[in-house]
Amino acid sequence: MTDTSAEQKTTVSMTVDGRAVEAVPGEMIIAAAERAGTYIPRFCYHPRMRSVGMCRMCLVEVVGPRGPQLQPACYVPVAEGQEVITDSPAVKKAQDGVLELLLINHPLDCPVCDRGGECPLQDQTLTFGPGETRFVEEKRHWEKPIPLSSLVLLDRERCIQCDRCTRFADEIAGDPLIDFVGRGDHTEINTFPDQPFASYFSGNVVQLCPVGALTAEPYRFKARPWDLEQVESTCTSCSVGCRVAVQSSGNRITRRLGIDADPVNQGWLCDKGRFDYEAVNGDDRLRAPLSRSGDTLGETTWGEALGKAADALAGARDRHGPASIAVLGGARLTNEDAYAWSKLARVVLGTDNVDCQLADGLPAEVVLGLPHATIDEACEADTVVLLTADVKEELPVLYLRLRGAAVAGATNLVELSATTTGLTRYATTSVRYRPGEAAEAARQLVAGGAVTGDKVVCVLGRPSLAEQPDSVIEAAGVLLDAVPGIRFLSGLRRANVHGALDMGLAPGLLPGRVAAADDGGWFAGAWGTLPETEGLGAAGILEAAAAGRIQALVLLGADPLADVPDRDLAQRALAGAGFVLALDGHLTASSRQADVVLPVVLHHEKPGTATNLEGRVTRLGQKITPPGSSRPDWMVAVELASRLGGDLGLETLDQITDEIATLAPAYEGITRAALAAAHDGLLAGRDDASAHEAPPTMSSAEHPEVHAAAALGETDIVASEPIAVRETPEPAAAKPPTLRHRPAGRTATPPATDSYSLRLVSSRALYDEGTLVQHSPSLAHLGRGAAVRVNPAELERLGVTDGAQVRVSSSRASLTLLVAVDEGVPRGVAALDYNQAGPGAADLIDIATAVTDVRVETV
């Protein structure tokens, strides 16, 4: 972090125990000393949070006019000529004293404490503390433990009141739901009456706790730290791509911890990302291939299942033509899996009917073809325009970053949305638009001068599944015209959807963000062949399947019945498809209707790479071996190719990574060696040099939490191995350009509305009926349920009360739902969370209409 290269002296010269240290202006003594190799013990200090100087463990002597004075090293900034003493008798006495005091009321139940073995209090007592206590009185007693929420429990006897959890909740999460109560030695942390610590980020306080006071329900008593092994990986619960330490014991994932990747998650995780590993461990994982016989799916062998699938695919291809085959899904896959399937579809199956999105995102050219922004760029932008669904619900850690930037005044949030979102209260401008009218709202926003500054970033996603994205794309075009230097940060939420798109899992697209039309013989040369015509996207595939024109449908971890925002169409498509092959880790509503189901491995069971919403490519770590005979998706692709008489030329995972780096233009330079060396991953396809200049980052070694955890197991499974790259022959043609896209001008006319109907808005809440959440027992019950939320005025108009049953009817269906009053929903709009338990938005939406109007009536 020290930068002495600038022309002027930008550092502060000081001494620590007589040694000269160059420090960064503004940093605290504790940080400067640590970088210089002097670890000052601490409990309350955390580099990502405001210093409070409370625990007094970091007292050092700072020489002042009155001689050496004890000062908290976490609270005193460095200064030119400052003399710091960390090893004097006075400092030693203070450290001994503080530790003895912290321990007098500490229960010392280390043998049964989850934190024992990785406990900063334990460790620092051994390193800095007195050997024994002189306390003979009875210790303070509290009821133990008490739940702060359904995920986090608090043992107040162990608590040392360091203010870390409370500061996190207030400063970082913006959920100040826990605080100090009482005074003196009866000070405790607690929730407010009848308000649980129901934060999406509650698990972070468990990781932050320097003692065993806070424990996580999913991990309590599951393992001892010294039994854990660990790899670094990337969370794939959404597309933010938080870096995580994945820990296991006895071939079960026991815990996920956030790693401080400076440009991404800065150590934080959302609770879904922290805890949904339970789904990977689940007893309900698919362990063997299933094959349909009549109405039932029965276990079979890989040989039989693959043979049956290959026969169906070959039959479709040879009798009905390649266009009768379609591949849906792929966001669950690694980049290597997606590349193999992209290649299989184009080269062996001959079809371009591939789509990793399920008509729930944005067209590939919009996601890939607009100038990309990083999270850091958004957080430093003059203005961030939010044109996506609720970031707090869909991309929680991006929410933390944007919220933090807004609170710090580093950026200016401008929101275009149909209803209030988690970021509304942090936005300087928040404009409500009626679904279908986003473009008009963007024009007004621009005309009103709300989009200011040279550095502008738009977070562009799919605001509502009940609205086709045309108007939103047009709005992006409006912004692009108004702010020529604008960059876009994708708001698509599905795990590795950006990696899957980058690997070409969309019609008309080839790996490395290449439009098939621009290929110029590159992939055609390298792969040998390409489909001649552009294929169908998800909606087209489903329509074709429903019409009986799809003979073989492959579901790559896709569950159309849950995820396609038109359940009726999805159902007709599954019924109409000739043969359905599903690759999944769990049985889903859709795969229950498949003809063959192949069990595949999930995250933490396979290595590979993934690409986050910034285009940041990181490595995934394998920590456990998969259940039963599950295989990685890429291996299934290779096997099917072989059974279909083709050859993908791919035999190992490394070979695929190497081929991507060689052939995929946006992934040039993203080699295994480069990935192994890049702690925070590499950005794919950034044409500007600045994007590859990694900002100074804090390595995990500078963070005691992660460092302590990292010491438990091997943190890096690849870096030390020699990397042998098998050259992929480059084709003779020139490397094609990466996709550039400019949304067309006015496209859609806002649909007319009638005075009886409400326009439906539907997006996802963090906890829904998705596979990972529902197979994680700790999270499965957290969904807030399907209630249609309307403005109080609409409720009054209906003459019903909050919580009553109402009938919600669209052109597709008529449902009985609970109604909830919500002042954040404007008049004329009805909001309904997508994919909650029971009938819901997917039943009401007709994908063929631009917007979904519903009538809400009394039952």
Considering the complex, state which of residue 187 and residue 529 has its C-beta at the smaller distance from other proteins: 187
Which residues, listed in sequence order, are joined to residue 414 by a DSSP beta bridge?
Answer: 385, 429
Considering the complex, state which of residue 94 and residue 240 has its C-beta at the smaller distance from other proteins: 94
Provide the minimum distance between the beta carbon of 165 and other proteins in the complex, in angstroms, as a whole number.
15
Helix 470-482 and helix 438-447, axial crossing angle in degrees, nearest 10: 20
Provide the minimum distance between the beta carbon of 740 and other proteins in the complex, in angstroms, as a whole number.
48
Provide the minimum distance between the beta carbon of 140 and other proteins in the complex, in angstroms, as a whole number.
8
> Two tokens at 65?
């006019």
Binding other proteins (rule: CB under 8 A), the pick from 42, 46, 56, 498 is 56
Binders of other proteins among 133-162, rule CB under 8 A? 134-135, 137, 160-161
**445 vs 451: CA distance, rounded Å:** 7
From residue 177 to residue 206, what is the string marking binding to other proteins with x (rule CB under 8 A)? --xx-xxxxxx-------------------
Provide the minimum distance between the beta carbon of 186 and other proteins in the complex, in angstroms, as a whole number.
8
- CB burial readout 705-742, b (16+ within 10 A) else e: bbebbbebbebebbbeeeeeeeebeebeeebbebbebe
Binding other proteins (rule: CB under 8 A), the pick from 16, 40, 102, 682 is 102
Binders of other proteins among 723-752, rule CB under 8 A? none
Q: Is 93 in the site for other proteins (CB under 8 A)?
A: yes
Provide the minimum distance between the beta carbon of 12 and other proteins in the complex, in angstroms, as a whole number.
17
Q: Is 57 in the site for other proteins (CB under 8 A)?
A: yes
**Residue in 383, 391, 407 with CA at minimum distance from that of residue 487:** 383
Binding other proteins (rule: CB under 8 A), the pick from 41, 72, 499, 531 is 72
Strands 456-460 and 290-293: unpaired
Strands 152-154 and 214-216: antiparallel
Provide the minimum distance between the beta carbon of 127 and other proteins in the complex, in angstroms, as a whole number.
17
Q: Is 69 in the site for other proteins (CB under 8 A)?
A: yes
Provide the minimum distance between the beta carbon of 708 and other proteins in the complex, in angstroms, as a whole number.
21
Considering the complex, state which of residue 47 and residue 72 has its C-beta at the smaller distance from other proteins: 72
Considering the complex, state which of residue 134 and residue 319 has its C-beta at the smaller distance from other proteins: 134
Q: Is 75 in the site for other proteins (CB under 8 A)?
A: yes
Considering the complex, state which of residue 76 and residue 598 has its C-beta at the smaller distance from other proteins: 76
Provide the minimum distance between the beta carbon of 172 and other proteins in the complex, in angstroms, as a whole number.
18
Strands 59-64 and 83-85: antiparallel
Considering the complex, state which of residue 186 and residue 692 has its C-beta at the smaller distance from other proteins: 186
Angle at CA of residue 836, ends 830 and 837, nearest 5°: 125
Binders of other proteins among 674-713, rule CB under 8 A? none
Binding other proteins (rule: CB under 8 A), the pick from 12, 24, 36, 55 is 55
Q: Is 813 in the site for other proteins (CB under 8 A)?
A: no
For 482, the enclosing helix (H) or strand (E) is: helix 470-482
Is residue 570 within 8 Å of 542, Cβ to Cβ?
yes
Binding other proteins (rule: CB under 8 A), the pick from 12, 16, 21, 54 is 54
Considering the complex, state which of residue 184 and residue 294 has its C-beta at the smaller distance from other proteins: 184
Binding other proteins (rule: CB under 8 A), the pick from 101, 431, 589, 674 is 101
**3 vs 570: CA distance, rounded Å:** 57
Binding other proteins (rule: CB under 8 A), the pick from 2, 35, 97, 146 is 97
Q: Is 53 in the site for other proteins (CB under 8 A)?
A: yes
Cis peptide before 145 (omega within 30 of 0): yes
Q: Is 130 in the site for other proteins (CB under 8 A)?
A: no
Q: Is 815 helix (H, G, I), strand (E, B) or coil?
A: strand
Considering the complex, state which of residue 138 and residue 295 has its C-beta at the smaller distance from other proteins: 138
Binding other proteins (rule: CB under 8 A), the pick from 21, 31, 78, 94 is 94
Q: What is the DSSP string of 15-28?
A: EETTEEEEE-TT-B
13-16 long-range CB contacts below 8 Å, 24 or more apart?
13/80, 13/81, 14/78, 14/79, 14/80, 14/81, 14/82, 14/83, 14/84, 15/82, 15/83, 15/84, 16/84, 16/86
Q: Is residue 853 packed enough to be buried (19+ CB in 10 Å), middle (13-18) or exposed (0-12)?
A: buried
Considering the complex, state which of residue 55 and residue 505 has its C-beta at the smaller distance from other proteins: 55
Phi, psi dihedrals of residue 160, rounded to the nearest 5°:
-110, 20
Considering the complex, state which of residue 73 and residue 223 has its C-beta at the smaller distance from other proteins: 73
Q: Is 830 helix (H, G, I), strand (E, B) or coil?
A: strand
> Two tokens at 329?
């899904």
Helix 335-343 and helix 633-643, axial crossing angle in degrees, nearest 10: 20
Q: Is 640 helix (H, G, I), strand (E, B) or coil?
A: helix
- Note the residue count of the chain: 859
Considering the complex, state which of residue 177 and residue 235 has its C-beta at the smaller distance from other proteins: 177
Strands (DSSP E) found in 698-840: 758-761, 787-790, 805-809, 814-821, 829-832
Binding other proteins (rule: CB under 8 A), the pick from 1, 49, 63, 70 is 70
Q: Is 719 in the site for other proteins (CB under 8 A)?
A: no
Considering the complex, state which of residue 187 and residue 533 has its C-beta at the smaller distance from other proteins: 187
Query: Interacting stretch for other proteins, rule CB under 8 A, among 89-97, 444-452, 671-679, 792-800?
Result: 89-97
Query: Interacting stretch for other proteins, rule CB under 8 A, among 87-95, 277-285, 620-628, 829-837?
Result: 87-95
From residue 12 to residue 51, what is the string marking binding to other proteins with x (rule CB under 8 A)? ----------------------------------------
Task: Report CA-CA distances (Å) from 115 to 112, 211, 363, 705, 836.
Answer: 9, 6, 47, 12, 36
Considering the complex, state which of residue 128 and residue 302 has its C-beta at the smaller distance from other proteins: 128
Provide the minimum distance between the beta carbon of 52 and other proteins in the complex, in angstroms, as a whole number.
8
Considering the complex, state which of residue 187 and residue 816 has its C-beta at the smaller distance from other proteins: 187
Provide the minimum distance between the beta carbon of 76 and other proteins in the complex, in angstroms, as a whole number.
8
Q: Is 456 helix (H, G, I), strand (E, B) or coil?
A: strand
Q: Is 164 in the site for other proteins (CB under 8 A)?
A: no
The dihedral over CA atoms of 486, 488, 489, 492, expressed in degrees to the nearest 10, equals 160
How many residues form the binding site for other proteins (CB under 8 A)?
34
**603 vs 610: CA distance, rounded Å:** 11
Considering the complex, state which of residue 160 and residue 214 has its C-beta at the smaller distance from other proteins: 160
Q: Is 636 in the site for other proteins (CB under 8 A)?
A: no
Is residue 826 within 8 Å of 754, Cβ to Cβ?
no
Provide the minimum distance between the beta carbon of 180 and other proteins in the complex, in angstroms, as a whole number.
6
92's CB contacts (< 8 A; 6+ apart) are: none
Provide the minimum distance between the beta carbon of 195 and other proteins in the complex, in angstroms, as a whole number.
17
**Residue in 325, 840, 392 with CA at minimum distance from that of residue 555:** 325
- CB burial readout 311-328, b (16+ within 10 A) else e: ebbbebbeeeebbbbbbb
Provide the minimum distance between the beta carbon of 143 and other proteins in the complex, in angstroms, as a whole number.
19
Is residue 387 within 8 Å of 416, Cβ to Cβ?
yes
Binding other proteins (rule: CB under 8 A), the pick from 38, 82, 86, 105 is 105
Q: Is 82 in the site for other proteins (CB under 8 A)?
A: no
Residues of this chain that interact with other proteins (CB under 8 A) are 53-57, 59, 69-70, 72, 75, 90, 93-94, 96-98, 100-102, 104-105, 134-135, 137, 160-161, 179-180, 182-187
